């Protein structure tokens, strides 16, 4: 086998190892990533907070208010889910305050 062929095979093997390593790293990160998913409900929206495939929080109603009122829009549910994910990722409590809901213009009936 020529030295050029050996070099090409070496480069190919190196690239395969690098791509496999990147793939494995991404699998590990995905298992530990915290993210939100919107849930469509009867009469509105809620959200789930997930870590990999594990459900951490199911929020079917607007948090921080009395009663059981779902979010009016998908965008509102996404915004609050992102807030909760941000809090969890920074080690804060996931509790959502009414003052935080006001920032997203969430109207409570």
Higher pLDDT pick, 96 / 66: 96
pLDDT in tens, 64-88: 888 889 999 999 999 999 999 999 9
pLDDT in tens, 3-35: 888 777 777 766 777 666 666 655 555 566 889
Three-state secondary structure call for residue 67:
coil
DSSP 11-59: HHHHHHHHHHHHHHHHHHHHHH-EEEEEEEETTEEEEEEEETTEEEEEE
Tell me, what DSSP letter sits at residue 94? -
């Amino acid at each position: 086998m020529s030295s050029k062929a050996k070099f090409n095979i070496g480069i190919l093997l190196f690239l395969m190892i690098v791509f496999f390593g990147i793939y494995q790293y991404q699998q590990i990160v995905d298992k530990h990533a915290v993210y939100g998913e919107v849930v469509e409900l009867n009469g509105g929206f809620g959200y789930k907070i997930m870590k990999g495939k594990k459900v951490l929080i199911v929020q079917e109603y607007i948090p921080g208010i009395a009663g059981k009122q779902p979010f009016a829009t998908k965008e509102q549910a996404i915004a609050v889910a992102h807030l909760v994910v941000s809090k969890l990722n920074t080690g804060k409590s996931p509790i959502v305050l009414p003052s935080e809901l006001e920032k997203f213009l969430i109207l409570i009936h």
